[in-house]
Amino acid sequence: MATSPLAPFRNRLIFAACWLLWIAVQYKSLLEFQIDPAIALTDASLSNTLLAVMLALMIYILGLYRPQKRKYLFLLVWCLALSGLWAVMTRISLAGLFAHHPDYLLFLRKSMPLRFDITLLVTGCAAITSMLWHSQEEQKQQESRKRHAEKMARDAELYKLRQQLQPHFLFNSLNSISALTVSQPEQARKMIQRLSDFLRGVLKKEYQQWVTLADELQHLQLYLEMEQMRFGRRLSTEIIHDEESPAFLIPPLLLQPVVENAIKFGLYDTTAPALIRIKASVDRDLLTISVQNPFDPETASPRPGAGFGLSSVQRRLYLLFARNDLLSASAEDHHFVTMLKIPRHDQSHPDR
Amino acid sequence: MIKAILIDDEPLSRSLIREYLEDYPEICIVQECQDGFEGVKAIMQQQPRLVFLDIQMPKINGFEMLELIEQPPAVIFITAFDEYAIRAFEQNAVDYLLKPFSRERFAKAMEKFMEHAGDPLSGTAAQPLLSTAALSPQQRQRIVVKTGGKIKIIRVDDILYLEAADDYVKIYARDGVFLKNRTMAYFEDLLEKEQYVRTHRSFIVNIQQITRIEPYEKEGRLAVLKTGTKIPVSKSGYARLREVLDV
């Protein structure tokens, strides 16, 4: 709910002060016109109290509803209506109170147009101030929302970057290179080459641009080869695909987290030989990729859809295709299989 | 001669340490292990004075492995990139090697070890480090215990309730009862407060196991579990229970 400009205590104080000041000013002016002081005081208090009530009401209503279009016309009509209402009420009540003072009644009738004008001016000022206050508040809120959204986007970006760089993998690879430099310098050089190519691939990737499966597989191959050097014969990989699939376009960075997950459970969390098998095939407009890895049921308890890697993939698939059935995982007999389905990319929607 | 054990799952990483150790002829690697299970066994059998321990390993990590050893020897910790492990080391002022590390950095760690004449990582020094490390997301999911000669990994979801037993805590899980030499306060910190409630000085209960609560004697109550077991609930325990169950 929108707050009112009269909500802060300071503003209420100002409002009350203006009201009293206005009473004083009007009282003083009435005395100039030779009005009896008692009548003048009553006149000033009554008319200004009515005005204050009207204004408070108007400010309150503006807090609840403000038109987006033609707001100044709206304000003008509001002010005219309020001032008119105020004039009628003031005139009737004052005339009723001082019915036996013909001089005053005459003065009241003559001064009414002027009073109306002044009131219209005051009402207009209050309405515009109120409007300005509201638009300033809205702007403040919008800015804070924007700042918040920007911060979130920045954090997500940083997190994504860190994920892509895979610090754990990176530092372990560097350590392996360090170990190889003395005993097998040729191997060390090879590994540096692969690591560079891998990092270049990570840096080149853009979140929005789709890539062919062949490109993605080549990138993964670098990653797998490096893991092979780190873990020796314990890791073996197998990539099988049909004729059509290498040219199939897929969203970038979708397959990699799945393979990383397979490495995590199949290689990092076991000590037995690990075979990571990636299979890809196209059936009409659907590419199916399955990634299989062994797991140790004693220590790991892979549940379908569990793990950060997979939940982020699931979320991306949903954002891209509005479908929740494109990722599935199953565990049986020491093997964990993740199935990824990707619909054919519609070239007419490049931003999808 | 100083007996040492090397525990790391990567052969290349182990070979690097062996290479650096050529500068220290008095250190003798008596065994190399590639996971925590092997590590526990090797430490028990060989009683080394020094262990080179990688944190991320298959089956159980380096911290979980140390939990299983009653009198751990001196340890030189090694890690590549593990935010939680690094936080635990920093908080407890424990030295560690970050992969890849230089010969000089390795020498510094060895110097420290020699200075302290290979003081074992005594029970009192290890405890705070392991308690901090146990708060990592991976370790919060499971509890590693030794039962008989075997190592058992209990999934936290499988815990029915815990009972204090002198210096130990008895863990009643779906597939048996296990002992762990930790305090109740340690488990109270470790387990999710929304699911595990300390109903009594000596009991922590998985609230999903509770079927009903019945009055008992004057002020007390009993929580009846799905298995039929009755767990005492103290007055303050009942207040905590009500708070979590939102009744």
- Residues A185-243: pLDDT tens digits? 999 999 999 999 998 888 877 766 888 999 999 989 999 999 998 888 889 999 999 99
Residues of B in contact with A271 (CB under 8 A): 9, 34-35, 58-59
Q: Is the pLDDT of residue A101 over 70?
A: yes
Please state, as a whole number, how many other Cβ atoms lie within 10 Å of the Cβ of residue A92. Answer: 10
Distance separating alpha carbons of residues B86 and B80, to the nearest angstrom: 10
The answer to whether B100 contacts A178, with C-beta atoms less than 8 Å apart, is yes
Walk me through the domains of chain A, giving residue ranges and CATH numbers: 9-159 (no CATH), 234-343 (3.30.565.10)
Q: Is the pLDDT of residue A350 over 80?
A: no
Query: Nearest CA to CA, how far is B85 from chain A (Å)?
Result: 12
Distance separating alpha carbons of residues B54 and B14, to the nearest angstrom: 10
Average pLDDT over residues A154-162: 75
DSSP-assigned beta bridge partners for residue B96: B77
Buried b (16+ CB within 10 A) or exposed e, B53-80: bbbbbbbbbbbbbbbbbeebbbbbbbbb
Least confident among A146-160, B189-203, B221-235: A146-160
Distance separating alpha carbons of residues B60 and B37, to the nearest angstrom: 7
Best probe of the B interface among A168, A174, A226, A299, by most B CBs < 10 A, is A299
So what's the pLDDT on residue A305? 43
Peptide bond into B100 cis (omega under 30): yes
Distance separating alpha carbons of residues B143 and B181, to the nearest angstrom: 12
Query: Nearest CA to CA, how far is B63 from chain A (Å)?
Result: 15
Nearest to A166 by CA among B56, B101, B52, B130: B56
The answer to whether A231 contacts B11, with C-beta atoms less than 8 Å apart, is yes
Q: Is the pLDDT of residue B122 over 60?
A: no
Average pLDDT over residues B217-238: 89
- The ipTM value here is 0.83
Distance separating alpha carbons of residues B151 and B57, to the nearest angstrom: 15
The answer to whether B99 contacts A172, with C-beta atoms less than 8 Å apart, is yes
Residues of B in contact with A300 (CB under 8 A): none
So what's the pLDDT on residue A352? 42
The answer to whether B16 contacts A268, with C-beta atoms less than 8 Å apart, is no
Strands of A47-185, DSSP E:
none
Which amino acid, A262?
A: A
Query: Any idea which residue has 């199949």 for tokens?
Result: A266
The answer to whether B80 contacts A172, with C-beta atoms less than 8 Å apart, is yes
The answer to whether A175 contacts B16, with C-beta atoms less than 8 Å apart, is yes
Q: Report the percentage of chain A scoring pLDDT > 70.
A: 93
- Cα of B115 vs its chain's centroid, Å: 27
Q: Give me Rg for the CA atoms of chain A.
A: 38
Instruction: Identify which of A179, A268, A269 has the shortest CB distance to residue B16.
Output: A179
Compute the mean pLDDT over every residue in chain B, rounded to the nearest whole number.
90
Query: Nearest CA to CA, how far is B45 from chain A (Å)?
Result: 21
The answer to whether B59 contacts A167, with C-beta atoms less than 8 Å apart, is no
Walk me through the domains of chain B, giving residue ranges and CATH numbers: 2-137 (3.40.50.2300), 149-245 (2.40.50.1020)
So what's the pLDDT on residue A304? 43
Closest residue on chain A to B154 (Cα): A299
Whether A207 and chain B come into contact, CB under 8 Å, resolves to: no
Reported as a single tens digit per residue, the pLDDT across A259-290 is 988 888 888 888 888 999 999 999 989 999 99
Instruction: Identify which of A167, A182, A299 has the shortest CB distance to residue B153.
Output: A299
Residues of B in contact with A268 (CB under 8 A): 9, 56, 58
The answer to whether A174 contacts B100, with C-beta atoms less than 8 Å apart, is yes
Whether B80 and chain A come into contact, CB under 8 Å, resolves to: yes
So what's the pLDDT on residue A322? 85
Average pLDDT over residues A316-340: 87
Nearest to A260 by CA among A202, A301, A220: A220
Find the DSSP H helices in chain B: 11-20, 36-46, 62-67, 83-91, 103-115, 123-133, 137-140, 184-190, 235-245
Q: Is the pLDDT of residue A349 over 60?
A: no
Angle value at C-alpha A333, between A330 and A337, nearest 5 degrees? 30
- Beta strand B150-155 with B203-206 is unpaired
Query: Nearest CA to CA, how far is B143 from chain A (Å)?
Result: 11
So what's the pLDDT on residue B65? 94
A13 vs A153, which has greater pLDDT? A13
So what's the pLDDT on residue A323? 86
Reported pTM: 0.70
Q: Is the pLDDT of residue A156 over 80?
A: no
Least confident among A143-147, B106-110, B214-218: B214-218
Nearest to A343 by CA among A290, A291, A287, A278: A287
Residues of A in contact with B16 (CB under 8 A): 175, 178-179
Residues of B in contact with A182 (CB under 8 A): 19
| Residues 164-223 (B) with a CB less than 8 A from some CB of A | none
Q: Is the pLDDT of residue A351 over 50?
A: no
